[in-house]
Amino acid sequence: MPKLTIDGTEIEVEAGTTILQAAEQLGIEIPRFCYHERLAIAGNCRMCLVEVEKMPKPVASCAQPVGEGMVVHTNNAAVRKARQGVMEFLLINHPLDCPICDQGGECDLQDQAMAYGGDRGRYREDKRAVEDKDYGPLVQTWMTRCIQCTRCIRFITEIAGTPVLGGLYRSDHLEVSKYVNSALSSELSGNLIDLCPVGALTNKPAAYTYRAWELNKTESVDAMDGLGAAIRIDARGNEVVRVLPRINDDINEEWLGDRSRFACDGLKRQRLDRPYVRRDGGLKPASWNEAFAAIAAVLKGIPGAKIAAIAGDQTDCETLVAAKDLLVSLGSAHIDCRQDGAALDAAVRASYLFNSTIAGIEEADAVLVIGANPRKEAPVLNARLRKRWLKGGFKAAVVGPKADLTFGHDWLGDQASVLADLAAGKHPFMDVLKAARKPALILGQGALARADGAAILGLARKIADAAGMVTDGWNGFNVLHTAAARVGGLDLGFVPGAGGRNAAAIVDGAAKGDIAAVFLLGADEVDMKGFGNAFVVYLGSHGDAGAHRADVVLPGSAYTEKNATYVNTEGRVQRTRLAVFPPGEAREDWKVIRALSDVLGKPLGYDTPKQVRERLAAVNPLFATLDTVTPAAWGAFGTAGTVGDTPLASAIDNFYQTDPISRASKVMAECTAAFGCGCNHSKKTGTHG
Amino acid sequence: MSNHSEPTSFAFTAENLEKAKKVIARYPAGRQQSAVMPLLDLAQRQDGWVSRATIEAVGTMLEMAPMRVEEVATFYTMYNLKPVGKHHVQVCTNICCLLRGSDGVGAVAQEALGVGWGETTADGMFTLSEVECLGACVNAPMMQINDDYYEDLTADSTRKILDALKRGETPKPGSQTGRQFSAPEGGPTTLIKTGEKA
């Protein structure tokens, strides 16, 4: 390992480390624009120049590997002068329109110009202007501001795997541009805005609506998909302006899918801001007391066995445990958190978790994807799979929808019978899995939410066993959830109790009159027409399908408006933070249920968030652990049986609109219009096969 | 790329396809992208220019994103991104040629062809381009017509060359003053006789 001296401090680093990285280990920050630790090194902005003794000229520290005995100066007069020169050149063609630039206040160029910029310009000639490009409804371009660091080109090529950006022409005419015949329809395109060190790529939906220093920044957790990515919610007043990713190497590194990032305008639309009660065929505004009284009046005459509850995709664990406790005390066993009917088995935790963990998938050397399109269902996870594939020594195959997944894979067809062949060892890919050191499979909700879901779960388990996916220290059996609430619901046992009905049976029972009252906890994806004459109470944040069918609507909070617990697809317990308050008279969902329990004469035994969390931990001790993954024990699950011949499909049709929030979002509707349903590149991207 | 129609497809002729395969075979397996420049050149020799269809066809052949091919095609000015005439007249106006009278060469070329810089004659025979240094400064002023260099130009010799081309003749490339390559004007000045100084 080479030893070198940086600013008088000796350090020993691994061979191949660059000077910039070595300096970072010492806590010395070197200014940079083009260098980004998760992208390939370009070395073209020259801002990171340092002086290395015995080298004739300043060197770009981001691209210079350390050498034995190097003596580096990162901040002497010569270095500062060199950087001032670079800065002056960068500013020659920069419009200096910071007062009207959305990046103002959080701009690398602005910050570094404070340190290295001159107080006046010496450039008297005309500045160059570059035509703006159309990057679609999410990314606004101001190409004249571009300093050609090429971070966006490298991100879209390397991480997103949709190489539609490039640098055209040369020298003074160089323009970062999008290939003319293709859309920027990467599910990760919002990350370009974060990566751009200047204001060339900015947030289009939020354009001109904020200054960076006006925003209240709340560190929270995403609930728009099953991954639970780390996010920061930026709000001004009581309005969420934007959502940004935070670094969490266990889940999302520093990326975020476009739906999680841009659906936040849906938090302002179609909101339920007061209770409603159905009178004379229409929903009429009501007070909380009136709404509760209406519920109590109906439930009084109904035996517990005719009451049911279905939880939706974004319901937090506090609400789930409160609802479960209430339903149990009412004498009902009809509860289900699997509104899509997925054949998930709550009894064996390993059967519904992403056991390898998201970061752990990078260790896998062979992956079988079943009934999922990870690019649509979890774009950040898909970026991980691509990252793994780019490293080499990785084989992947898909049984399910055919799609451009941005990583090389064999498509084995979309018939579930292929799984039977694999399980029986009759398929050649089984040999690949068996030969792999750490084989894994990813089982999507599209494969489970079907009539033969339990049989497919059984086949997946057989494949996992036959391929040796579960060994000491490695469990490659992965269920990919699309709903943030699902794992929490299963962990809390929000599934039918003894003699209880599942979601489909609840709907069926309601149609036949066996179920007289149904609580929908943000559940909008069940067949609303099937409830017959049942009394439906909807508790949720948005006026979506559920609220339209409901007889009483109770306004709840979205994930940005409460301190709530979610369990991600890996089984990691995480907590969101309240960034803004729920609108109008809306309340935190579990508190609504707590208040309702009083009116129904079955008061729940917890009043404060602390008490409800203690209740969570009492139901399942895992809820006492935060932000960690506890390995789950392997067990028996799934059933034997024949599988149907319906093609396996992804659980998500339209990446941009999957839940009440994104369906209410205008931006997501624009994306659907511009990009279709996601991943529909008309052009080959060079990553097929 | 503007006022011209883009073809919808591009395909190498059978002969050129063979050539292209030979070029690709020069590079190790998996490194076929290295062939992008020769292939674009081959395509330009076939069609006279590089269209978007060409870019996409070459990209497909080499398993490259079309953007990667377009980056190469736009970086090098030698790739014509719009159609050019049968004779592509490229007059150097860089410093050495300028000092030696490229202004006159350019003016004569514009007058003789009746078009301005970057334009193509109505009959599609000539495109006139102003280019940067072509590396023949020692024979300045010069112009390149298709693959040939015409050097040591004057207004007269420029007009003669263009007139000859118009008649369908092929004027002799190289120095127009008769000197051999870039040998001194008026004959050798050194090594005239073995063993003697000049």
Under a CB-based contact definition with an 8 Å cutoff, are residues A2 and A67 in contact? yes
**For A686, which of B65, B70, B74 is closest by C-beta distance?**
B65
Task: Enumerate residues 153 to 192 of chain A having a beta carbon within 8 A of any beta carbon in chain B.
Answer: 157, 163-170, 178-182
Homologous superfamily (CATH) for B14-75: NADH-quinone oxidoreductase subunit E (1.10.10.1590)
Of A355, A385, A333, A631, nearest in space to A505 by CA: A333
Under a CB-based contact definition with an 8 Å cutoff, are residues A147 and A139 in contact? no
Q: Calculate the average pLDDT of chain B.
A: 92
The pLDDT assigned to B196 comes to: 60
CB contact under 8 A, B75 and A166: no
- Best of B67, B72, B77, B78 to mutate (most A CBs within 10 Å, chain A): B67
- Residue A631 burial by CB count (10 A; 0-12/13-18/19+): exposed, middle or buried? middle
Supply the DSSP symbol for B94: S
Of B4, B5, B72, nearest in space to B43 by CA: B72
Round to whole Å and give the CA distance between A590 and A488: 14
How far are the Cα atoms of A168, A539, A540, A584, B8 from residue A587, in angstroms, in the given order?
Answer: 53, 10, 10, 9, 59
Backbone CA torsion sign across A91, A96, A98, A103? negative
CB contact under 8 A, A168 and B70: yes
Task: Enumerate residues 436 to 495 of chain A having a beta carbon within 8 A of any beta carbon in chain B.
Answer: none
CB contact under 8 A, B65 and A179: yes
Q: How many CB pairs under 8 A join A and B?
A: 40
CB contact under 8 A, B67 and A169: no
HSE-CB of A462 using CA atoms within 13 angstroms: 18
The pLDDT assigned to A683 comes to: 36
Q: Which residues of chain A have a CB within 8 Å of the CB of B63?
A: 686
Is pLDDT at B3 greater than 80 in this prediction?
no
DSSP string computed for A404-462? --SS--EE--S-THHHHHHHTT-SHHHHHHHH-SSEEEEEEHHHHSSTTHHHHHHHHHH
**For A166, which of B60, B63, B71 is closest by C-beta distance?**
B71
Q: What share of chain B is helix, strand, coil (3-state, %, to 5)?
A: 40, 10, 50
DSSP string computed for A139-169? EEE-GGG-----HHHHIIIIIS----EEEES
For A443: left if phi > 0, alpha if psi spans -120 to 50, otherwise beta; the answer is beta
What's the gap in Å between the CA of B60 and the closest CA on chain A?
8
What's the gap in Å between the CA of B70 and the closest CA on chain A?
7
Q: Where are the domains of chain B?
A: 14-75, 87-175
Q: Nearest-CA residue of chain A relative to B70?
A: A168
CB contact under 8 A, A168 and B60: no
CB contact under 8 A, B74 and A181: no
- Best of A162, A174, A179 to mutate (most B CBs within 10 Å, chain B): A179
The pLDDT assigned to A672 comes to: 93
Place of tokens 């068996």: A434
Write out the H or E segment, with its range, that includes residue A11: strand A9-12
Q: Which residues of chain A have a CB within 8 Å of the CB of B71?
A: 166-168
Contacts of B168 (CB under 8 A, 6+ apart): none
Q: Which residues of chain A have a CB within 8 Å of the CB of B65?
A: 157, 163-164, 166, 179, 683, 685-686
How far are the Cα atoms of A170, A196, A259, A305 from residue A103, in angstroms, in the given order?
Answer: 26, 9, 22, 58
What's the gap in Å between the CA of B64 and the closest CA on chain A?
6
ipTM of the complex: 0.87
Would you state the structure tokens that stand for residue A500, as one six-digit string?
A: 């209880």
CB contact under 8 A, A170 and B66: no
Q: Nearest-CA residue of chain A relative to B33?
A: A686
With the CA atoms of B50, B52, B56 and B62 taken in that order, what torsion angle do they form, in degrees rounded to the nearest 10?
A: 20
The pLDDT assigned to B48 comes to: 92
DSSP string computed for B24-51? HHTS-TT-GGGGHHHHHHHHHHHHSS--
The pLDDT assigned to A603 comes to: 96
Q: Which residues of chain A have a CB within 8 Å of the CB of B67?
A: 163-166, 178-179
What's the gap in Å between the CA of A166 and the closest CA on chain B?
6
Q: Which residues of chain A have a CB within 8 Å of the CB of B60?
A: 684
Q: Which residues of chain B have a CB within 8 Å of the CB of A392?
A: none
Q: For the segment A613-650, what is each residue's pLDDT rounded down to a tens digit?
A: 999 999 999 999 999 999 999 999 989 889 999 999 99
CB contact under 8 A, A179 and B66: yes
Low-confidence ranges of chain A (pLDDT < 50): 681-689
Q: Which residues of chain B have a CB within 8 Å of the CB of A166?
A: 65, 67-68, 70-71
**Sequence-ordered alpha helix ranges (H) in A564-608:** 589-599
- Residue A16 burial by CB count (10 A; 0-12/13-18/19+): exposed, middle or buried? exposed
What's the gap in Å between the CA of B46 and the closest CA on chain A?
23
CB contact under 8 A, B52 and A683: no
Write out the H or E segment, with its range, that includes residue A396: strand A395-399
Under a CB-based contact definition with an 8 Å cutoff, are residues A231 and A260 in contact? yes
Place of tokens 């049976």: A505
Round to whole Å and give the CA distance between A516 and A501: 13
- Residue A256 burial by CB count (10 A; 0-12/13-18/19+): exposed, middle or buried? buried
Q: Nearest-CA residue of chain A relative to B71?
A: A168
> A672 forms bridges with which residues in the sheet?
none
Q: Which residues of chain B have a CB within 8 Å of the CB of A164?
A: 65, 67
Supply the DSSP symbol for A66: -
Assigned CATH class of B87-175: alpha beta
Would you state the structure tokens that stand for residue A153, as one six-digit string?
A: 């080109």
Q: How confident is the model at residue B6 (pLDDT cuts 50, 70, 90)?
A: confident
Q: How confident is the model at residue B195 (pLDDT cuts 50, 70, 90)?
A: low
Q: Nearest-CA residue of chain B relative to A171?
A: B75
CB contact under 8 A, B52 and A684: no
- Residue A599 burial by CB count (10 A; 0-12/13-18/19+): exposed, middle or buried? middle
The pLDDT assigned to A160 comes to: 95
Contacts of B13 (CB under 8 A, 6+ apart): B46
Q: Nearest-CA residue of chain B relative to A689?
A: B63
Place of tokens 């371009």: A141
Place of tokens 């063609």: A93
How far are the Cα atoms of A173, A421, B45 from residue B55, in angstroms, in the given order?
Answer: 20, 43, 14
- Residue B41 burial by CB count (10 A; 0-12/13-18/19+): exposed, middle or buried? middle
HSE-CB of B13 using CA atoms within 13 angstroms: 8
The pLDDT assigned to A688 comes to: 36
**For B67, which of A166, A169, A170 is closest by C-beta distance?**
A166
Q: Nearest-CA residue of chain B relative to A175?
A: B71
pTM to 2 decimal places: 0.93
Q: Does the CB of A684 have a partner CB in chain B at under 8 Å?
A: yes
Would you state the structure tokens that stand for residue B180, as one six-digit string?
A: 């051999």
Backbone CA torsion sign across A107, A111, A113, A119? positive
The pLDDT assigned to B115 comes to: 95
**For A167, which of B65, B66, B71 is closest by C-beta distance?**
B71
First to last CA, chain A: 39
Q: Nearest-CA residue of chain A relative to B1?
A: A180
